[in-house]
Amino acid sequence: MTNLDYICAKIGQNLIVKADENIFRKALGILQEDGVYAMFLWLEKEDSKIRKKLNNLLNENEITSKLLSDSKSFPDDFKGFCEKLQEVAKDIDKLLFLKKILERTLTYALYHAKIKEEENVGKN
């Protein structure tokens, strides 16, 4: 059995490029209020690096196999990514699974960013 929480924690930690908890907080809010597609649209505009790192999460074998029927990966280019996202959205169970995985990952990233920010404040 795969520990998906471990994968979310690993990717969440790797999302931290700079200590900016604000972007994770906003992405999480958009995800919860407006949905998966809206969050990815916003991230593509605000910080496409984070969107691409979340793409790495979705391309983990254990997750891809649960989301995509053809078991191919989510492409890096945004148009292709959106097409795969639409495929997932056709199945409500897959969409809810995806949302749960993203919420968990962004929550971990938010806490990592908060810790990093506090460490930076402590150094000054």
Which pLDDT belongs to residue 122? 59
- Distance, in Å, from the CA atom of 67 to the CA atom of 95, rounded to the nearest integer, reads 8
| Cβ–Cβ < 8 Å for 13, 108 | yes
* Residue 51, domain member (yes or no): yes
Residue 25 has pLDDT above 60, yes or no: yes
State the residue range of the domain holding 106. 20-118
* Residue 4, domain member (yes or no): no
Which pLDDT belongs to residue 77? 93
Which pLDDT belongs to residue 124? 56
What is the number of domains present in the chain?
Answer: 1
Q: Would the pTM count as exceeding 0.85?
A: no
Cα separation values, 23 from 17, 37, 71, 89, Å: 11, 16, 30, 24
What is the average pLDDT across 28-45?
96
78-94: per-residue pLDDT in tens? 999 999 999 999 999 99
